[in-house]
């Protein structure tokens, strides 16, 4: 009845605040890679299922020194910027784009170069436990298609955008779309191309409409992209209210904030994911909630380029905006969502107000801004799934079997437990704070094992 059954101890978000622990549960996976049943040791069929699937050699059992987490969902990666990861973090956003990033991205006209960088990146992200990624490519249709093909080959769920930058004043001549008409035609051709490619990818490959950010696009391009989004009902991604420079640029051009301007062009939909959003006004958040548009929170990048802390507690609880997590490679230096989970908590604690608001020197910060580790984990998993409107990010019935197996005590790993009474939720916290990529023993996407540590899964 099931394709295979997995036994192990797992953690999965119930909602933004609550994580449930599933000790020694059985995860029964269908031939489509979907979780068809989750069975606890108390249920009467538990032993029978183990016996039956063990006999058929379709039973995977993880030990008490291993735990299962849902695969992470990265809502914001600039794939070409992998080539400059961990470097060029020294200047403000707009200078950074022109000094380092546009020259690098322009090199992706070279398809061989694209193949090398994208292949390394997709492997690295999988090894870091990331099973779904919302990618910006470059302006090049061919290189962006190569990225989607590599996701197909390696089994990663990829949502990929050919970037649109058609404004002749804001973008350098060596790196922009030739014309607005060409930018729109190339985007439409890319959508059709990727939808065709997707027929061969059971884990899901999706085209994404990708205006880089408002300053890089003409009004006609933004309008045309909104129309394409409606015609093809595809995902949309962009940067929104990230930095002071960009925020003020949009205000000068349209007399309103990014969110309102993007909405005027039909670019805020249920399938939109907007990166950063550190400078959203309350009305912008309300609009996001109304439209079902999601925020990709990039806490490491925001320290370097946004100079802001995105108000996640407010987005999640006051306005109930769909929110997930992004590395923003290479605005963020780390390919790991474990690192971004930690930074999301750290940044929110820094935004928190002083202890006693009656004392003058403690009147600082923003009340109720801290988030918990559970909430940060939600962003990296279930929140990401909701943001993309896909059944991913939870270890629950109807969701894809996207999982990472964490080794607690091995040759290169050590997450200490000194008491048998230690709760599973304590262990969960230790794992999120201490796990490194070398702790991730296996990664599964849509029921298929795509990574085993120290073993090459696909030939490049
Ligand atoms: N805004 C426009 N382009 C970019 C980019 O590549 N990275 C970041 N962080 N912000 C941007
Ligand atoms: Fe970005």
pLDDT digits (tens, 9 = 90+) for 282-336: 999 999 999 999 999 999 999 999 999 999 999 999 999 999 999 999 999 999 9
Nearest alpha carbon to residue 387 among 300, 289, 299, 305: 289
- Of 103, 150, 145, give the one whose Cα is nearest residue 124: 150
Residue 109, pLDDT score: 98
H or E stretch covering 29: strand 19-29
Instruction: Note the pLDDT of residue 367.
Output: 86
Does residue 26 sit in the same domain as residue 153?
no
User: Is the C-alpha dihedral spanning 259, 263, 265, 266 positive or negative?
Assistant: positive
CA distance linking residue 72 with residue 157, whole number of Å:
11
User: Which ligand 1 atom is nearest residue 301's CA?
Assistant: 9
277 and 420 housed in the same domain = no
The residue out of 369, 388, 407 marking a domain boundary is: 388
- pTM for the model stands at 0.97
Spacing, Cα 331 to ligand 2 middle (Å): 6
Question: Does residue 353 share a domain with residue 227?
Answer: yes
The predicted pLDDT at position 456 comes to 66
- Atom 11 of ligand 1, nearest CA residue: 239
- Looking at the CA of residue 216, tell me the nearest atom of ligand 1: 2
100 in a structural domain: yes
- The predicted structure's pLDDT at residue 357: 87
Query: Which residues face 272 on adjacent strands?
Result: 236
**Separation CA 269–CA 366 (nearest Å):** 29
Domain CATH code at residue 51 = 2.30.40.10
Residue 218 included in any domain: yes
77 C-alpha to ligand 2 centroid (Å): 7
Q: Are 384 and 323 in contact (CB under 8 A)?
A: no
CA–CA dist 316, 326 (Å, integer): 16
Name the nearest CA neighbour of 294 among 326, 264, 265, 335: 326
Residue 248 CA to residue 37 CA, distance in Å, equals 51
Pocket test for ligand 1, best of 76, 89, 213, 302 (most atoms within 8 A of CB): 213
CA of 348 to the centre of ligand 2 (A): 20
Helix, strand and coil content of the chain, in percent to the nearest 5, comes to 40, 25, 35
Q: Which of 370, 388, 406 is the last residue of a domain?
A: 388
DSSP state of 419: -
CATH code, domain with 167: 3.20.20.140
Cα of 422 vs centre of ligand 2, distance in Å, is: 40
Which of 212, 258, 300, 330 is the best mutation target for the ligand 1 pocket, counting ligand atoms within 8 Å of the beta carbon and taking the most?
212
**Containing structural domain, residue 8:** 4-70+395-452
Q: What is the CA radius of gyration of the chain?
A: 22
What is the CB < 6 Å shell around ligand 1?
A: 78, 93, 97, 101, 212-213, 239, 242, 301, 305, 328, 331
Write the pLDDT tens digit of every residue in 281-290: 999 999 999 9
The candidate with the shortest Cα–Cα distance to 134, out of 387, 376, 375, is 387
Please tell me whether residues 66 and 195 are part of one structural domain.
no
The reported pLDDT for the residue numbered 364 is 87
Ligand 1 pocket test, candidate residues 74, 77, 82, 93, most atoms within 8 A of CB:
93
**Beta strand 235-240 pairing with 272-276:** parallel
Query: Are residues 189 and 106 part of one domain?
Result: yes
CA of 212 to the centre of ligand 2 (A): 8
405 touches 68 (CB < 8 A): yes
Give the phi and the psi of residue 17 in degrees, each rounded to 5: -95, -30
> Which residues in the chain come in under a pLDDT of 70?
456-460
Q: What residues contact 85, with CB distance under 8 A and at least 6 apart?
A: 329, 330, 333, 335
Q: What are phi and psi of 23, to 5 degrees?
A: -80, 130
Ligand that lies nearest to the alpha carbon of residue 92, given by its number in the listed order: 1
Q: Tell me what pLDDT residue 454 has.
A: 80
Query: Does some domain include residue 85?
Result: yes
CA nearest to 433, candidates 406, 396, 460, 397: 406
Q: Does one domain contain both 158 and 148? A: yes
φ, ψ for residue 451, nearest 5 deg = -155, 135
What interface predicted TM-score (ipTM) does this complex get? 0.99
Q: Are residues 121 and 243 in the same domain?
A: yes
- Give pLDDT, residue 460: 38
Considering 347, 369, 388, which residue would you say is the last residue of a domain? 388
Residues 353 and 249 in one domain: yes
Q: How far apart (Å, rounded) are the C-alpha atoms in residues 118 and 202?
A: 20
* CA 167 from centre of chain: 28
Q: Is the domain of 141 the same as that of 202? A: yes
CA dist., res. 209 & res. 190, Å (int) = 9
Euclidean distance between CA atoms 216 and 93, whole angstroms: 13
pLDDT at 459: 43
Q: How far is CA 405 from CA 20, 371, 385, 417, 435, in A?
A: 17, 25, 19, 18, 11
Runs of H (alpha helix) within 255-297: 258-264, 282-291
Instruction: Let me know whether 137 and 147 are in one domain.
Output: yes
Q: How many domains does the chain have?
A: 2
Return the ligand 1 atom nearest residue 242 CA.
10
Whole-number pLDDT of residue 84: 98
Beta-carbon count within 10 A of 281 CB: 13
Tokens of 295: 């925020």
9 and 99 part of one domain: no
Phi and psi angles of residue 85, each rounded to the nearest 5 degrees, phi first: -60, 135
Beta bridge partners of 67: 406
Distance CA 68, CA 294 (A): 27
Give a yes or no: residue 459 inside a domain. no
User: Domain for residue 458, yes or no?
Assistant: no
b (16+ CB within 10 A) / e for 327-341:
bbbbbbbbbbbbbbb
Residue 378's contacts (CB-CB under 8 Å, 6 or more residues apart) are 13, 15, 16, 17, 19
Residue 455: both structure tokens together: 């073993």
Question: Cα separation of 427 and 417, whole Å?
Answer: 8
Q: Are 352 and 221 contained in the same domain?
A: yes
Nearest to 277 by CA among 323, 233, 215, 317: 323
């Amino acid at each position: 009845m099931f394709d295979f059954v997995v036994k192990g101890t797992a953690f999965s978000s119930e909602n933004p605040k609550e994580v449930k622990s599933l000790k020694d549960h059985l995860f029964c996976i269908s031939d489509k890679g979907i979780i068809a049943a989750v069975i606890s040791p108390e249920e009467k069929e538990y032993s029978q299922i183990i016996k039956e699937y063990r006999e058929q050699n379709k039973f995977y059992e993880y030990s008490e020194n291993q735990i299962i987490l849902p695969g992470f969902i990265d809502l914001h990666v600039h794939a070409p910027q992998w080539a400059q990861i961990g470097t060029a973090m020294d200047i403000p956003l707009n200078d950074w784009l022109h000094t380092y990033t546009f020259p690098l991205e322009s090199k992706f006209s070279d398809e061989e170069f694209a193949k090398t960088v994208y292949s390394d990146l997709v492997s690295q992200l999988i090894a870091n436990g990331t099973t779904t990624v919302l990618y910006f490519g470059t302006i090049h249709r061919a290189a962006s298609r190569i990225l989607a093909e590599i996701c197909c080959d390696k089994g990663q769920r990829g949502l990929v955008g050919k970037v649109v930058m058609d404004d002749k004043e804001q973008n350098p001549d060596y790196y922009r779309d030739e014309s607005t008409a060409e930018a729109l035609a190339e985007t439409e051709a890319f959508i059709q191309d990727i939808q065709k490619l997707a027929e061969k990818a059971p884990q899901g490959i999706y085209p994404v409409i990708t205006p880089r950010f408002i300053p890089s696009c003409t009004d006609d391009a933004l309008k045309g992209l909104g129309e394409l989004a409606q015609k093809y009902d595809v995902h949309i991604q962009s940067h929104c209210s990230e930095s002071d420079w960009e925020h003020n640029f949009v205000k000068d051009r349209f007399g309103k904030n990014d969110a309102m301007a993007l909405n005027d062009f039909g670019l805020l939909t249920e399938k939109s994911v907007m990166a950063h959003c550190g400078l959203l006004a309350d009305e912008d958040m309300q609009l996001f909630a109304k439209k079902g548009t999601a925020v990709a929170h990039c806490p490491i990048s925001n320290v370097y380029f946004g100079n802001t802390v995105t108000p996640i507690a407010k987005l999640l609880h006051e306005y109930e905006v769909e929110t997930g997590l992004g590395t923003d490679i290479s605005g963020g230096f780390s390919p790991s969502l474990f690192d971004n989970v930690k930074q999301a908590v750290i940044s929110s604690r820094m935004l928190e107000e002083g202890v006693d608001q009656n004392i003058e020197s403690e009147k600082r910060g923003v009340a109720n801004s801290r988030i918990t580790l559970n909430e940060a984990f939600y962003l990296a998993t279930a929140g990401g799934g909701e943001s993309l409107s896909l059944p991913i990010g939870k270890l629950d019935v109807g969701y894809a079997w996207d999982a990472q197996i964490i080794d607690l005590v091995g040759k290169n790993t050590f997450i200490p437990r000194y008491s048998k009474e230690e709760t599973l939720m304590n262990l969960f916290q230790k794992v999120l704070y201490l796990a490194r990529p070398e702790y991730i023993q296996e990664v599964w996407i849509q029921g298929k094992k795509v990574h085993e540590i120290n073993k090459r899964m696909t030939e490049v």
